[in-house]
Chains A and B, each alone.
Chain A
C-alpha cells in the first residue's frame, strides 16, 4: 500500500489541510516540518481516524473525552469533520488498484467537555479508469489491507515508539504484540487457519473411514473423536484463560500505573497522619506565641521597664535623696519626741505638759506644725529606701543578665522563633492539604481494591491453567494410544479403499502444511531477528567484534521478547539500561526488519521520531529508515513528522531522500515564534510548500536563522 494524497477538514486544528505523499521509489520519504503544537500529532490521528475510526486512536485520548473538531468553536455549534485518504494497493498478482477512503462525522461540543457525534460514515471507493466504485464493507476491506492491530507498526508516535520493547506495557503484552506483528505481517495467520481446516478435513475422512469398517473401528473412532473434542475444549479453555491472564496483566499494569501516579502525590493515610501531626504542632506553636506575648506585656508593665527607660531620672532623684539623708533631713525624728513628751506630761525642759496646760497647748501646736513637715520627710525616706533597693535590684539584674533589655531581647528572639516556626508549619500544612486535595481518595481505595481482586483472580487462573495443562498432557497420551488401537483395528477390518486413500492423503497434506507453518515461524522470526540486529547495530554505530563496545547483538528470543545482549554476557533491561535514542533505534529497527522480511509496502508514518536522538545516531537512523528500496528491502514509503530541531544536521539526507517536504504551522505561535501575523480570528494550522531549508510569510519563525533557513517571499497570503 502506498499513500497518495490526504485532505483533512475540521479535524482538531487542521481546518483544511491537503498533503501529497511521495511515491517516488528513489525518494520514498515525505516530510512534514512542524513545531510543537502545530498539528503533527493531529495529522497522525486524522489518518488513524480515517482508517479505523475512534478504535484507531490511542486509548488515553479516547478516555480523556475525545473532541475531534476544532476547540475554538462555541458550545452548541456543529461541525462536519472529514478526512479523505487516497491510496494505492498492489495485490499478489502485482496489479495495482487505487482507492479513496472517506470518513465523515458531524460533531457538536457542549459546555463541560460534552461532545456528541452523529452520522459517522466511512466510504471506500475503488478508482478505475471508468469512474469510482463504492465498495461495500469498507471497514472490513480496510482492516484486511492495513489491519487495526498493526496500527502501531504503520502509525507510530515517537513518544510511544517503545511499545515493543519497553516496560510501559507488561512483558506478556510486549511478547504478544511482537508475536502478533510477526504473524500478521508475515501472513502466518492464514497459513495457521489453513492447517486447522485441513486437520478438520482429515478428521472427517478418518471418521467416515472408521464408520465404513464396522462396529469395532466405528466405536474406536467415536472414542477418538470424543478425545479430539475434549482436547479442543481443554485447549480452548487454556487459551481463553491465558488470554484472560494477559488482559488482567494489562489491566493490572494500567491500574498500577494510575495508583503509582496517585501515590506519587502521596499516600492518603500517610498524608492524613502528617496533616494531623502538623495541625497539633501548629496549635502548640500558637499557644507558645500567646505565652510569649503575655510575658512581653508583663515585662513592659514591670519596674525593670521603668528603670530601663527612666534610670537617669531615678538616679538623679536618688542622689538628691541621698544628699538629704546625708544632711539628716530625712529621716525626721522630732515628731516622735514631742508625742512621747505629751504622753509623759513632762517636757524635756521639765515644764508640766498636763493636757490643757499652756505648755501642753504650745507643744501640741508645735507637734501639729511638725507633723506637716514629717509627712514629706516620711515620703522622702520611703523613696530613698525604695530607690536604693530598686537601684540595687537593677544592678543585680544587670549583673546576672536579667535586666530589661536582655529580657526584652530574649523574648523578642523567642517570639521571632515561634512566629517563624508557626509560619513554616502553616505553609507545610497548607501544602499537605493541597496534596491531599489532589488525591482522589475514593479512586485510590477503588484501585487498591481492584488490584487486590485482580491479583487473586490471576493466581486462581494460573492454578487453573496448570490443571488444564496437566489434563491436556494426559489426554494427548491416551489419544496416541487410541489412534494406535484404531490403526490395529483397521488392519483387521475391510475398509473402504477410496476413503482410506483420501484419509491418508489428508494426513500427508496436513503434515506438509503444519511443517511449513513451523518452518516459517522459526525462519521468519530468525530473519526478522537478524535484520533487526543489523539495522540496530548500524544505527547505534556498534560493532559486534569490538569487545570494548556495549552491544553484542539484539535478537528475538523463542518467547518473542526482544533482547539486547552485551559483550560481558548480560542482557540489558531495555527500560533502564538503554538510553532513549537506543530505545527508538531498537523499535524502529524491529519495525523496519519486520516490514522488509514480510515484503510489506505499507507506509510508515512516524511522529517526532528523533526527539531524543542526536549526533551520529541521528544521521544513521534517518539514513537507515529512509534508504530507497532494494532486492532485500522492497519499495516503501516513510512519512516523518519533524520539528526544526529534529531536522537539524540531517538536512543533507532529507535533500536526497525526501520526494515531498511541506511545512505545517499554527497561527497561535505569533508573535512569540511566528514572524508574521496571519490575522486569523481563531487558532488554526496551515500547510505551506516550504521545504526544510525554506520559510515564507506563513511559516517563518523568529529563530529560523539559527537553523540556516532562508526566507522566500512566495507564499504571499495567508
Chain B
C-alpha cells in the first residue's frame, strides 16, 4: 500500500472524530488535506505554498457556509 493511500485511510478515520457541520464535510476535509500535501510537489516556494493552503482551507470553510455544496 502506498503512503498516500495509507494517509487517506488514516485521515478518514481521524475525520470521524470531527463534527459534520454539513453533509460530506469529513470527506471534503480529507480531500483538502491531500490537496495541501500535493502543493509540495508543485515546486512553489514556502510562502506561496502557505498562501495557497490558506485558500484551500478557506474554500473548505466557504463550502460549509454554503451548506456543503460548491
Using CB atoms and an 8 Å cutoff, list the residues of chain A in contact with chain B: 92, 186-188, 190-191, 193-194, 197-198, 200-202, 204-205, 498, 501-506, 508-509, 511-513, 515-516, 519-520, 523-524, 598-599
Find out whether the CB atom of A200 lies under 8 angstroms from the CB atom of B50: yes
| Known contacts A92-B2, A505-B57, A512-B17; is-contact A198 B7 (Cβ 8 Å) | no
Known contacts being A197-B49, A502-B57, is A523 close to B36, with CB within 8 Å? Answer: no
Interface contact A194-B33, CB-CB below 8 Å: yes
Sample of 29 A–B contacts (CB below 8 Å): A186-B6, A188-B3, A190-B40, A197-B36, A197-B39, A198-B53, A201-B50, A201-B53, A201-B58, A205-B57, A498-B62, A501-B64, A501-B65, A502-B58, A502-B61, A504-B61, A505-B21, A505-B60, A505-B61, A505-B64, A508-B19, A509-B29, A509-B33, A511-B18, A512-B17, A513-B33, A515-B17, A516-B7, A598-B3
Given contacts A197-B39, A197-B50, A198-B36, contact A520 B6 (CB under 8 A): yes
The majority secondary structure among interface residues of chain A is helix
For residue A502, which residue of chain B has the nearest CB?
Answer: B61
How far does the alpha carbon of A197 sit from the alpha carbon of B54 in the complex, in Å?
A: 8
The distance in angstroms between the C-alpha atoms of A506 and B30, with both chains bound, is 12
| Range class of the B interface residue count | 35 or more
| Residues in chain B within 8 A of chain A (CB atoms) | 1-4, 6-7, 10-11, 13-15, 17-19, 21, 29-30, 32-33, 36-37, 39-40, 49-50, 53-54, 56-58, 60-62, 64-65
**Known contacts A198-B57, A502-B57, then 8 further A-B pairs from the complex at CB < 8 Å, ordered by chain A residue:** A92-B4, A190-B40, A200-B53, A508-B29, A509-B57, A512-B14, A512-B29, A524-B6
- Given the complex of chains A and B, what is the CA–CA distance between A244 and B65 in angstroms? 47
Q: How far is the CA of A503 from the CA of B33 in the complex (A)?
A: 16
Q: Which residues of A contact B14 (CB under 8 A)?
A: 511-513, 515-516, 519
Return the contact of A187 from the options B7, B30, B32 (Cβ within 8 A).
B7
Kindly report which residue of chain B lies nearest to residue A186, judged by CB atoms: B3
A502 touches which of B6, B33, B37, B62 (Cβ 8 Å): B62
Nearest chain B CB to A193 CB, angstrom units: 6
Q: Which residues of B contact A202 (CB under 8 A)?
A: 57
Contacts of B64 in A (CB 8 A): 501, 505
* Closest B residue by C-beta to A193: B40
Q: How far is the CB of B45 from chain A (nearest CB, A)?
A: 12
Q: Please determine whether A509 and B32 come into contact, CB atoms closer than 8 angstroms.
A: yes
B37 lies within 8 A of A191 (CB): yes
Q: Please, which residues of chain B bring their CB within 8 A of the CB of A193?
A: 37, 40
* A498/B57 in contact, CB under 8 A: no
Q: Which A residues lie within 8 Å of B19 (CB)?
A: 508
CA distance A198 to B3 in the complex (A): 20
Say how far A490's CB is from chain B's closest CB, in angstroms: 17
In the bound complex, how far is the Cα of B50 from the Cα of A205, in angstroms? 12
Enumerate chain A residues within 8 angstroms of B6, measured Cβ to Cβ.
186, 520, 524
